[in-house]
Amino acid sequence: MKKLLAFTVLAALVCAGALLADTSPWSEPFDFCGGKIKDNIVLKPTDKLAYSSAMAIGEPKSLTITVKDTSDSKITASIFEDDSATPVEGTVVWKYTDKIYKDFPIDDTYRLTETVVSDKETKVFTKDVTILPEPAGFLLLGLIAVFFLRKRVKSLLAIAALILVGALSAQAECTVTEVKGMQMWPFDTSVIINYTLECDSDSLLQVKFYGSVHDDGSWPFNLFSLGSLSGDGVGTLPGPGKYKAIWRPDDVFTHSVNHLMVRIEAVEISKHLYMVIDLESGAISYLKDVPEGGWTDEYKTTKMVLRRVKAGTFTMGSPQYESSWRKDYEIQHEVTLTKDFYIGVFETTQKQYKMITGSDPSGHKGDMRPVEAITYNMIRGKEKGSAWPANNDVDEDSFMGKLRAKTSKTFDLPTEAQWEYACRAGTFKAWNNNTDASKEAYHDENLDKLGRYSKNGKDGKGGYDDLHTTVGSYLPNYWGLYDMHGNVWEMCLDWWGDPGSYTSDPVTDPVGAAEGTSRHMRGGSQANPAGECRSAFRAGNGPNDRYEFVGFRVALTVSDDDDDDPGQQSF
């Protein structure tokens, strides 16, 4: 017995060390029913039912699940707890009345009803379910387990104590704990992911989500690549706390598995996420998060706000099947950006441009509308400013020249790679809310939510019908950047080369072609159909060509000279 105890203690130390070394554990495996949820499903007494909160508008206030049955069958169920700030107060009620029909002596089919009550509406969902009885063999296994545990209770207690002591003494600076996942079954394919962030610092955190169908967590996949994520636990988080995300898998994720696991990685990115420029004085300040109440008009007029983007690797370009508007020069390839950079939360507005240069060349006026009818040469200058990528000099009398002089920072246009990286914000699909482009290439319901383009020009958002509108009138991407799709084209630094400046080869910190006749612009505009506003779509514009649908947003690549915010030194 002593040898057995010593062996189990040693094994516990090894196991505990391995567990504690992994600061981002996998969730417990859970069942996932791939494809479309069918009306006729089968329940076992051990199955868990999850509420469908994503189906209702707002947070559920109460929940009742009812099975009606006249037989003596017994089944248990549990609500998957919502660990967000607003917990669900619900009940599971099993009523044995009104049996629908009976197929076999051991298989009963009943009507399962779920009622979701939110602060805005009540929804009722029903499914026909077949309940399979609990196998009698489980009782025998339970008796065997009790007998086994009785003789080894000392070993088990020793293991538990060691793990507990190790866990208490090995608190990491920032860890992800209590990762739990469950499909909203049997009513929906979406998966709820709850987790807790424990951090000693007050830095902002960027979270990534992974899944695995293997018990050992091997061959993990990015959940973003096979669906979309939403909820308060997605994107950049302000610090420690309990968070929730909802993963909606793609139609292509049709596998049904009984051991799907999820894992969250949290990366400390900064103590301050936003840089704010006072355009009157040139003073620079920093914000940890979006101000309470959101970005007010001053951030679109007398101030300019830029968001810090963490360096990383992404797939630039688009797959051949993405859209009928897809061009051969949207070649997919891996791009690594080795330096953080800031990029404007909004397109540069007419008021902001005037604050720096003293004039506004736009043809369609509005202080908070994007500046337009500007050229690459007006932004950077046609003498020194035309030298990119040989150097990043600009003319003193250009917009960037005057902004640099006022702030003592080397602001510029983003490179084409920086622009697409920021636009995608970790997504893989046509739109930066991680949705596919519609088959009807001119109009797209997803794009209607994200930006002004030719088919939603009269929706009145931002106070203007047709043409471009007030910046920030549509939904931002996952990194809080607005109007990356539509409104006005946005100029980039790169020359348009032949054939389109890049190939399928992996590249690091690309700067575009060495020379050319036009500069890249991205994002589409109010004059373009949906297919030309995609994340990967590319176009060119002559350095001195002026159009009412071409504008820009400001960027700043972080270097030792530029990064003088003390909160950023932990990078």
Last residue of a domain, one of 225, 247, 269: 269
Query: What CATH number should be reported for the domain holding residue 482?
Result: 3.90.1580.10
Give the separation between CA 565 and CA 269, rounded to whole angstroms.
13
Domain contains 155: no
Q: Which residue has the tokens 């189990």?
A: 8
Last residue of a domain, one of 96, 131, 166: 131
Domain contains 166: no
Contact call for residues 568 and 342 (beta carbons, < 8 A): no
Give the separation between CA 465 and CA 495, rounded to whole angstroms.
33
Give the separation between CA 267 and CA 208, rounded to whole angstroms.
8
Contact call for residues 308 and 340 (beta carbons, < 8 A): yes
Contact call for residues 205 and 236 (beta carbons, < 8 A): yes
Same domain for 448 and 525: yes
Question: Looking at the whole model, is its pTM more than 0.75?
Answer: no
Same domain for 319 and 461: yes
Same domain for 314 and 213: no
- Tell whether omega for the bond before 29 is within 30 degrees of 0, i.e. cis: no
Last residue of a domain, one of 269, 284, 306: 269
Strands 257-270 and 204-212: antiparallel
Give the separation between CA 131 and CA 519, rounded to whole angstroms.
64
Same domain for 483 and 447: yes
Give the separation between CA 126 and CA 405, rounded to whole angstroms.
65
Domain contains 508: yes
For residue 122, the cross-strand partners are 117
Same domain for 330 and 238: no
Same domain for 313 and 242: no
Same domain for 489 and 363: yes
The DSSP 8-state label assigned to residue 387 in this structure reads -
Provide the Cα torsion 278, 279, 282, 287; round to 10°: 30
Same domain for 316 and 204: no
Same domain for 361 and 477: yes
Domain contains 162: no
Side-chain half-sphere CA neighbours of 247 within 13 A: 28
CA-based R_g, the chain, Å: 28
Give the separation between CA 535 and CA 432, rounded to whole angstroms.
7
Largest CA distance in the chain: 88
For residue 354, the cross-strand partners are none
Domain contains 7: no
Q: Give SS3 for 461.
A: helix
Give the separation between CA 431 and CA 331, rounded to whole angstroms.
17
Q: How many domains does the chain have?
A: 3
Domain contains 524: yes
Same domain for 342 and 313: yes
Sequence-distant (≥ 6) Cβ neighbours of residue 396 within 8 angstroms:
381, 402, 405
Burial class (CB in 10 A: 0-12, 13-18, 19+), 23: middle
Domain contains 261: yes
DSSP result, 125-194: EEEEEEEPPPPTHHHHHHHHHHHHHHHTHHHHHHHHHHHHHHHHH---SEEEEEEEEEE-TTT-S-EEEE
Same domain for 305 and 200: no
Give the separation between CA 274 and CA 292, rounded to whole angstroms.
14
Q: Of 174, 277, 191, whose CA–CA distance to 234 is shortest?
A: 191
Same domain for 349 and 445: yes
Instruction: State which residues form the domain around 191.
Output: 174-269
User: pLDDT 10s digit of each residue in the chain, 571 long?
Assistant: 444 444 333 333 333 333 333 447 898 888 787 766 666 666 665 566 665 555 555 555 555 566 554 444 444 444 444 444 344 444 444 433 333 333 333 445 556 666 666 656 666 767 766 655 544 433 433 444 444 444 444 444 443 433 333 333 333 357 888 888 878 777 778 888 888 888 776 677 888 899 998 888 888 888 887 888 877 788 778 778 888 888 888 877 777 787 889 999 887 777 788 999 999 999 999 998 899 889 999 999 999 999 999 898 999 999 998 998 999 999 999 999 999 999 999 999 999 999 999 999 999 999 999 999 999 999 999 999 999 999 999 999 999 999 999 999 999 999 999 999 999 998 989 999 999 998 778 999 999 999 999 999 999 999 999 899 999 999 999 999 999 999 999 999 999 977 666 788 999 999 999 999 999 999 999 999 999 999 999 999 999 999 999 999 999 999 755 555 544 432 2
Domain contains 47: yes
